[in-house]
Chain A
Amino acid sequence: MFPPAPSLRLIRDVITFTTSELPKWNPMNVCYHLQEAGATPVQELAYALATAVAVLDEVKETNPSEEVFAQTVQRISFFVNAGMKFITEIAKMRAFVDLWDEITRDRYGVTDAKSRRFRYGVQVNSLGLTEPQPENNVYRILIQTLAVTLSKDARARAVQLPAWNEALGLPRPWDQQWSLRAQQILAYETDILEYADIFNGSTVMDAKVEALKEEARAELARIDDGRRDRSVQAGYMKGRLVESNARRLAAIEAATRSWWASTSSRTASPRRSRPARVRSRPFPKASARRRSSASTPGRRSATSPPSTRRSPNSPPPPRKTGTSWRPRSRPPRPAPPPANGARHCATSSASTAPRRGSARRCARRAAATPSRKSASRSRPPRRRSGGG
């Protein structure tokens, strides 16, 4: 909402106030949005840590009291995003733990190891959830959750999971419950909480963590060089994020699936990683749909025979329109926004004034680029009706 310098001052004032008046309060959570803005794992590490460093520098400058400062360090927490690159995500979290320990010890001289702990919560990735075949999002959510819980030394303190149908509309209570159950099954039905860190001693994991740390340290050093001017610093990070996001979008369009892997933009070959064709019908026939419409979503229907197309307790199947199914019973609509404001409303007003040639070139390029991603659907996507 404000330029970098005044924002930092505001955060500093809040921290200073809460540290003395509300000692158990966690005044700030650093950075959720990085991955969703297109950041690579190295950028997530570097930019989240750089943000925390900027805040701590600011607090240290104005509050020379050792005690206040130690308290501040201990109370900083992070909010991280977890994506689909499973091993990389585990390594990323381990790298976060190590780097935070390093920074708080070496840069700020925090001696108490407990105060140097990297405390973080996670919202697993919503950006990678798809609207076509939304049932697959359940697997994505669970895999992403595992990545931030499997390694004990780098385990998330709090996890929140999106709903499988978030790309379709607001989730119903039933959908939210399904996401909650995933966490509970992981915590109470598996044995992951009973073991020490299972990655300690893994040479593969250590190598990956070290590589991420090294790159992140280099990026942190570049950011630190610009610390005299916060806007330059912010501008640099924003520029890098925009670049990564452009690469990510281009990869989606080319169906190379090289999301978030900073290196894979060089190595990914569209041919090698093109998704396999699916021949079977993705969704049940109309008769199956009618049958299921009688049963409440989520209630196990013991009578319906197991089917290869639809498991008995699967969520309600999509309607004929397939990819654009959405929940039958909707939660109550949110109250209209306050008169003064549209909270999440952005605009980009495009004044096309197209140079004729470029507009035509654009249209031609669009026509010449067959929708590669449609290969992953068994049915050709419906044609858009030119916005009619």
Chain B
Amino acid sequence: MRARDCGFEVVYEGIRLTPAEIVNAALEEGVHVVGLSILSGSHVPLVRDVLERMRKEGLDDVPVIVGGIIPPEDETQLKAMGVAAVYTPKNFDLTAIMADIVRIAEGAGEKAA
């Protein structure tokens, strides 16, 4: 909702999706950023799967951001895999996160151009 208020066009696909479904939706919708929310603790293998599938589909220029209960070591690992940003419960200022995402999307757009 906050993203919509900030002028984003949000494609919310729902909960409990497989990495394949997510990558497929990202491809079909032609998104600028993919956001994943994972609370189950299995963020590392899931994100790895999503990133690999995106690479295969030629979406490696689309930044991926992740939110959830993510310990700092895993955050480092996720970022090493290529995740653009990781948000945890301490990041409560949604508008600041939106500004962050705009910067990430713009950065990716400039790199592509």
Residues of A in contact with B (beta carbons under 8 Å apart): 129-132, 166-170, 242, 246, 249, 252-253, 321, 323-324, 326, 333-334, 336-337, 340-355, 358-359, 361-363, 365-367, 369, 371, 373, 381, 384, 386-387
Contact = CB atoms under 8 A, between A and B. Distances in A.
Contacts of B40: 334, 343-345
Across the A-B interface, the 10 shortest Cβ-Cβ residue pairs: A358-B7, A387-B85, A344-B40, A362-B6, A366-B99, A169-B71, A363-B99, A131-B90, A346-B15, A349-B31
Contacts of B26: 347, 349
B22 A345 contact: yes
A355 B41 CA distance: 36
Contacts of A333: 41
Interface residues of B, number: 64
Contacts of B105: 350, 352, 354
A337 B46 contact: yes
A346 B29 contact: no
Given A253-B94, A362-B95, A387-B65, A350 B8 contact: yes
Contacts of B34: 347, 349-350
A344 B93 contact: no
Contact of B101 (A249, A337, A352): A352
A351 B9 contact: yes
A367 B93 CA distance: 11
Describe A's contact surface by its main secondary structure.
loop
Contacts of A348: 3, 10-13, 35, 37
Contacts of B63: 387
Interface string B81-97: 00011001111111110
20 contacts: A130-B89, A334-B40, A334-B42, A337-B42, A337-B45, A342-B49, A345-B40, A346-B17, A347-B13, A348-B13, A349-B26, A349-B29, A350-B8, A350-B10, A352-B105, A354-B6, A354-B8, A373-B92, A384-B85, A384-B96
B85 to A, nearest CB: 3
Given A242-B1, A367-B99, A353 B32 contact: yes
Contacts of A365: 95
A349 B98 CA distance: 13
Given A129-B89, A346-B14, A346-B38, 6 more contacts: A249-B2, A321-B72, A354-B7, A359-B102, A366-B95, A373-B92
B30 interface: yes
B68 to A, nearest CB: 9
A348 B22 CA distance: 9
A167 B69 contact: yes
B35 to A, nearest CB: 5
Contacts of B38: 342, 344-346
Given A169-B69, A324-B90, A366-B98, A349 B22 contact: yes
B83 to A, nearest CB: 9
B6 A358 contact: yes
Interface in B16-33: 16-19, 22, 25-26, 29-33
A353 B102 CA distance: 9
Nearest to A354: B7
A169 B94 CA distance: 21
B91 to A, nearest CB: 7
Contacts of B46: 337, 342, 345
